[in-house]
Amino acid sequence: MSLQEPHSINKRNYYRVEYPVRERPRFISEDNVVYCVLNISERGICLLKNPDTPLALGSILQGTVNLHQNGKVNISGKIIRDAEDNLGVFLSVGIQFSLIINEQQYLQQLNKYID
């Protein structure tokens, strides 16, 4: 029997960075619509919905995410989840793992000064 609690098992295939509200980067679509990034991984991104621009499941979203440590990164993907206030996007053009780790390190450093 495993010592881990069932709720603590990570079922994701990729490492995900969760952003605190004040540190959420911006995603700017190719048609210049701005979204806040809730979390990000190599192959996925979760965006806060923009109420002025409704998007349908299956729509392709392309644009640039402005990371804290590495600046602008071009991404492209399909909307696979439409929740009450956020969109889940599976990235076909994703983000390098090293850039995800850099974001995590940035947030960890920031947390040292907040506590």
Torsion angles phi and psi, residue 59, rounded to 5: -65, 150
Residue 86 in this model has a pLDDT that exceeds 90: yes
Which one, of 53, 46, 47, 57, lies nearest residue 16 by Cα?
Answer: 46
Res 11: pLDDT: 54
Res 112: pLDDT: 64
Q: Model confidence at 71, in pLDDT bands (50, 70, 90)?
A: confident
Q: Find the largest Cα–Cα distance for the chain.
A: 52
Is the pTM value of this prediction over 0.75?
Answer: yes
User: Any idea which residue has 């390098």 for tokens?
Assistant: 96
- Domains of the chain from N-terminus onward: 14-114 (2.40.10.430)
The more confidently predicted of residues 14 and 7 is 14
For residue 113, the number of C-alpha atoms closer than 13 Å in the C-beta half-sphere is 4
Distances (CA, A) of 105 to 14, 23, 69, 108, 112: 16, 13, 9, 5, 11
**What's the whole-number average pLDDT of the chain?**
86
Q: Model confidence at 2, in pLDDT bands (50, 70, 90)?
A: very low
Res 110: pLDDT: 81
